[in-house]
């Protein structure tokens, strides 16, 4: 089960990697730097999946008090934070040659940065509470508050950046719609979502085993 998932993931990622460099063309305006998008975008999108799963698992835990739901929330949060952090880093590496800067406070970057810090806080809360049952409860509450906050963050940041403000000068990374760019992107997206699932599956299994092992 988990092993099969692992092999499927590896396959998807390898194919995706090949496609990113062989199938995908050299982009017209940005040059080969655009190839970073084939890891950056899937990482971010996969992290969104992680946080949605975290929200659902948190609600499930509060309703059913099932430790499995709590383990899923924990694992999903962990992998999500890794992915979104990596996504921000790769985006920054892409941004330096294309935008000329490592960081800019545009709407999307700001929102993702806030997301990162929120879920880092989630992991921190987990880390500081010793009692397992209380940790599960508190983190579930935090997970729900964070999830409900996300649309509010999105709108406030978007309005902050677009209202009474000149639109940002460059719209890089825009989609040309050509198949040779779309397919590598999709394959890598699949690969990273599978990787998320694989990591979560292993992490959940590990959490379960750790909880069962008599200290």
Residues 68-107 that bind another protein (CB under 8 A): 68, 70-71, 74, 79, 82, 85-86, 89-90, 93-94, 96-98
Contact 68, 150 (CB under 8 A): no
Question: Which string of x and - marks every residue 164-193 that binds another protein (by CB under 8 A)?
Answer: ------------------------------
Told to check if 19 binds another protein by CB under 8 A, we report no
Least Å distance, CB 178 to another protein, is: 18
Contact 191, 13 (CB under 8 A): yes
Interface with another protein (CB under 8 A), residue from 155, 162, 170, 182 = 155
Q: Return the residue matching tokens 């990622």.
A: 13
- Tally of CA atoms within 13 A in the half-sphere of 91 that contains its CB: 23
Contact 16, 190 (CB under 8 A): yes
Interface with another protein (CB under 8 A), residue from 50, 146, 187, 197 = 146
Pick the stretch among 47-55, 100-108, 113-121, 179-187 that binds another protein (CB under 8 A).
113-121
Question: CA 79, 85, 87: angle at the middle one, nearest 5?
Answer: 100
Helical segments of the chain, H only: 2-18, 37-64, 67-99, 107-128, 132-162, 179-212
Interface with another protein (CB under 8 A), residue from 130, 171, 177, 179 = 130
Interface with another protein (CB under 8 A), residue from 144, 168, 186, 193 = 144
Told to check if 205 binds another protein by CB under 8 A, we report yes
Q: 159 is written with which tokens? A: 């309005």
Query: 178 by DSSP, 3-state: which?
Result: coil
Least Å distance, CB 208 to another protein, is: 6
Told to check if 3 binds another protein by CB under 8 A, we report yes
Instruction: Tell me whether residue 96 or residue 176 sits nearer to another protein (CB atom).
Output: 96
How far apart CA 78 and CA 83 sit, in angstroms, is 9
Helix axis angle for 179-212 and 37-64, nearest 10°, is 40
CA 22 to chain centre: 26
Least Å distance, CB 187 to another protein, is: 15
Q: Which of residues 24-63 bind another protein (CB under 8 A)?
A: 26, 29-33, 35-36, 39-40, 43, 62
Told to check if 129 binds another protein by CB under 8 A, we report yes
Number of chain positions touching another protein (CB under 8 A)? 80
Strand partners, 27: 31
């Amino acid at each position: 089960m988990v092993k099969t998932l692992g092999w499927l993931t590896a396959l998807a990622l390898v194919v995706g990697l090949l496609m990113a460099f062989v199938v995908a063309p050299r982009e017209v305006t940005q040059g080969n730097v655009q190839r970073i998008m084939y890891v950056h975008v899937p990482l971010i999108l996969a992290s969104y999946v992680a946080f949605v799963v975290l929200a659902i698992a948190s609600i499930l835990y509060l309703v059913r008090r099932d430790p499995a739901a709590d383990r899923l929330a924990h694992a999903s949060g962990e992998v999500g934070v890794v992915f979104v952090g990596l996504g921000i880093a790769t985006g920054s590496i892409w941004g330096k040659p294309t935008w000329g800067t490592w960081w800019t406070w545009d709407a999307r970057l700001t929102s993702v940065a806030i997301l990162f810090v929120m879920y880092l806080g989630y992991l921190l809360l987990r880390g500081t509470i010793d009692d397992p049952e209380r940790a599960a409860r508190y983190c579930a509450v935090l997970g729900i508050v964070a999830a409900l906050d996300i649309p509010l963050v999105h709108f406030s940041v978007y309005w902050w950046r677009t209202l009474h403000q000149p639109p940002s000068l460059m719209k890089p990374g825009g989609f040309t719609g050509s198949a040779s760019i779309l397919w590598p992107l999709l394959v890598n997206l699949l690969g990273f979502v599978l990787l998320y699932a694989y990591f979560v599956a292993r992490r959940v299994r590990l959490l379960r085993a750790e909880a069962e092992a008599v200290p």
